[in-house]
A and B are shown apart, each in its own frame.
Chain A
């Protein structure tokens, strides 16, 4: 069992600690013996291993104690039967698989609250450095409790994430080894992430979905049931992610406190390092939370349409399209031109590109609206200053086929652009454009960039499908009255950004006031600054604590 190696290291701790355990649990030797044996297994520290063999092995006694423990826990927590069951089943695992000893080491907030000391004992176990994954394995169990009993996670002495924020510990530079600073930074990140995920709505949504999932007749409609359970899984995933973060933060804090109590600098620096890692990681998580919308992970179509103003506007529309092509290429997305209607002299009247890749919709949706250009027009012999407009629309391509709107073939009018006349063998042209009209809605899609008619039709159908899906999404959003700000709505009237090339040089977003003094870089696709500032502004704007 490889226990011996660790013995010396942890002896000191064990003496104090194990007696504590015994005290708390009023535990006879039998329990301890088994427990110690188990814990020694894959632990480098071997906290408990010191005196294993001094105790007779008494499995029955061990079991009795486990049950004793669980009833103790249940009493303390006043929680419903489910908990009991969970715990028992975990305990059973415990007997069959040694590694499940972590059951006992839940660094569990609400246990801590009520049984001070007990939970710090438990924490002791979770420091065993076979790692934090053990802790998180453990917290899976924790979370089940957490969401069902709606208990707020806290440290052994009752500190919660909100509590950390309320403490307003100064946030110092990352290089400062101050755990309070790290903890405060992480807590703020968690707060921000919750806000971005619209936490309250998330909880309500999850409850609604759970209620639906519990209906006995759910699977009468398997398509609907599948959709509900997928959505439920998705929301659960989001919630778990955050709860994991909270749990991890609190556990590290507990450990630091424990390390101080126990005067263990090694453990303290280890935990501090873990906190720092979390702090760095949480910045990334904040960003991820910006793209947590229903369809954010989808690929998309970007459409640009020239405003009034003839060639100058059409040239501007082509510049905007080029900007998106380059932006997409920078991000490693695949770009395909689906539809392009060139201007007579220069530029484009309108164009549609398909941007393939994860989260392309999530990012590109921030570009919806009207883009304004101010410059000396190269098309004006009088060298006057012109203002032109181009409208941008972004349509998600839903990956989940079951969420597609059904299209009846009979509702479609398919038009092929072809030279007039006899057709057939008389004519050889590479023109094979296809336009599809969805008669009931009047929605149309055109594709002429593929090299065969068959392919043009397939591409146009895909665009049409996405347009109709989007129509349906916004219809539902309006129905659900969740439609606070419509990114899915193509708001052609909304001016979102101004690009000035003359008399000064600047690009400014009118929604966020984010600005850049180098229009060239922006027109070459350096848009992420604009996109991220808009996404965070739209999600982070103060909607009161109501959203958390």
Chain B
């Protein structure tokens, strides 16, 4: 990436995404005010008020297994689809110990379901024909040892991002003071990172998680409550640092998985991502680095001395660019700036401390 800083800054300022990101908002609060959005309840948490006979369910199962996948350059893996079908059943059935009996003898035993058979038909059709992400179909994503509610409008947390929690875990083991401080997760989405960190910090820690999207705020609040972390994690609505003015220079830790995909890559994304996931959470401007630069610039004033940060990036180019930027442009602000690869060996994270 041949990027000069002024250009990067310029593209960030002019990019259409950044205008939405920094659209002035008149309020921030821990509870989305005016009309609080009601998050959707994930399938596995809905009451089992529907019912179908085992043989009808078997018919549906057979239909789902054989539903033809539309032609595509990038079709979903059939093994994966079969596994997803099994998981869909696990989530939809009240007692999923009956799943193994699928495909054996037919019978008329009623099976209690958390959604109707019609709905099961329609959601699976969406999965196959519209390439709707499986996580939106069932309304949840299993991430680390958490089951997080997700829905349209909220980025589905990725397995790569699980590493945040390990990195924070390592840092706080080495430096116990950081557990008692205030942490911030910017652009929290489903709240995954905030919840993962909140559980590591324990009762003496505190995390503020922000997001511009009201849907994300609603979903993250739901997830925080499901893990009974409302005393540790506070959700605030607003763009990046805006809702954090009261804690400037007080943060022990700052983490973020901001949008980092270059704008012109969006159209070529895998259908599950490009057609369904929120552009707000993906599009990082022309070079994908707009939000990351904004975070770097703000980090110095938000973190207290010795404070720790982690940012997730698009890969090697962005990592190297950020490290270079921090070491040269904002000289003296940070130390021990490192690139940490993800499990696939891709340079994914930039970490460091504030002087």
Binding site for B on A (CB under 8 A): 325-326, 329, 335, 342, 414, 416, 418, 422-432, 448-455, 458
Q: How far is the CA of A329 from the CA of B259 in the complex (A)?
A: 47
> Chain A residues with Cβ under 8 A from B348's Cβ?
423-424
Contact A454 B145 (CB under 8 A): yes
Contact B84 A425 (CB under 8 A): no
Q: How far is the CA of A270 from the CA of B346 in the complex (A)?
A: 80
B143 within 8 A of A: yes
> Chain B residues with Cβ under 8 A from A418's Cβ?
159, 343-344
- Across the interface, name the chain A residue whose C-beta is closest to B312: A424
Contact B83 A454 (CB under 8 A): no
Type the 1/0 row for B153-164, where 1 means its CB is closer than 8 Å to any CB of A: 001101110100
Contact B342 A424 (CB under 8 A): yes
> Chain A residues with Cβ under 8 A from B257's Cβ?
425
Task: List residues of B (254-285) whose CB comes within 8 Å of A's CBs.
Answer: 257, 259-261, 265, 269-270, 272-273, 277, 281-282
Contact A428 B133 (CB under 8 A): yes
Type the 1/0 row for B67-93, where 1 means its CB is closer than 8 Å to any CB of A: 000000000010110111001000000
Q: How far is the CA of A456 from the CA of B80 in the complex (A)?
A: 15
> Chain A residues with Cβ under 8 A from B159's Cβ?
416, 418, 432, 452-454
Q: Which of A326, A342, A422, A426 has the most chain B CB atoms inside 10 A of its CB?
A: A426
B239 within 8 A of A: no
**Given contacts A425-B281, A430-B87, A449-B83, could you give 12 more A-B pairs where the C-beta distance is less than 8 Å?**
A416-B343, A423-B348, A424-B312, A424-B313, A424-B315, A425-B155, A425-B273, A428-B156, A428-B272, A430-B84, A432-B159, A452-B141
Binding site for A on B (CB under 8 A): 77, 79-80, 82-84, 87, 100, 133-135, 141-146, 155-156, 158-160, 162, 257, 259-261, 265, 269-270, 272-273, 277, 281-282, 312-315, 342-344, 346, 348
Contact A451 B158 (CB under 8 A): no
Q: How far is the CA of A416 from the CA of B158 in the complex (A)?
A: 13
Minimum CB–CB distance for B349 against chain A, Å? 10
Q: How far is the CA of A335 from the CA of B101 in the complex (A)?
A: 13
Given contacts A342-B79, A429-B80, A452-B143, contact A422 B315 (CB under 8 A): yes
Minimum CB–CB distance for A355 against chain B, Å? 13
8 Å CB contact of A423 from B79, B133, B346: B346
Contact A335 B80 (CB under 8 A): no
8 Å CB contact of A450 from B135, B142, B342: B142
Given contacts A424-B160, A449-B83, contact A414 B145 (CB under 8 A): no
The 10 closest A-B pairs by CB, nearest first: A451-B142, A452-B142, A454-B144, A453-B159, A428-B272, A416-B343, A428-B273, A430-B134, A428-B133, A432-B159
Contact B100 A430 (CB under 8 A): no
Minimum CB–CB distance for A521 against chain B, Å? 14
Contact B259 A425 (CB under 8 A): yes
- Across the interface, name the chain A residue whose C-beta is closest to B136: A428
Q: How far is the CA of A454 from the CA of B134 in the complex (A)?
A: 18
> Chain B residues with Cβ under 8 A from A454's Cβ?
143-145, 159, 162
Q: How far is the CA of A485 from the CA of B144 in the complex (A)?
A: 42
23 contacts between A and B (CB under 8 A): A325-B100, A326-B100, A329-B100, A342-B82, A418-B343, A423-B158, A423-B160, A423-B315, A423-B346, A424-B158, A424-B315, A425-B158, A425-B259, A426-B261, A428-B270, A430-B135, A431-B77, A431-B80, A452-B142, A452-B143, A452-B162, A453-B162, A455-B145
> Chain B residues with Cβ under 8 A from A428's Cβ?
133, 135, 156, 158, 270, 272-273, 277
Minimum CB–CB distance for B35 against chain A, Å? 29
> Chain A residues with Cβ under 8 A from B158's Cβ?
423-425, 427-428
Contact A414 B343 (CB under 8 A): yes
- Across the interface, name the chain B residue whose C-beta is closest to A335: B100
> Chain A residues with Cβ under 8 A from B346's Cβ?
422-424
- Across the interface, name the chain A residue whose C-beta is closest to B271: A428
Minimum CB–CB distance for A126 against chain B, Å? 50
> Chain A residues with Cβ under 8 A from B314's Cβ?
422, 424-425
- Across the interface, name the chain B residue whose C-beta is closest to A524: B104
> Chain B residues with Cβ under 8 A from A416's Cβ?
159, 343-344
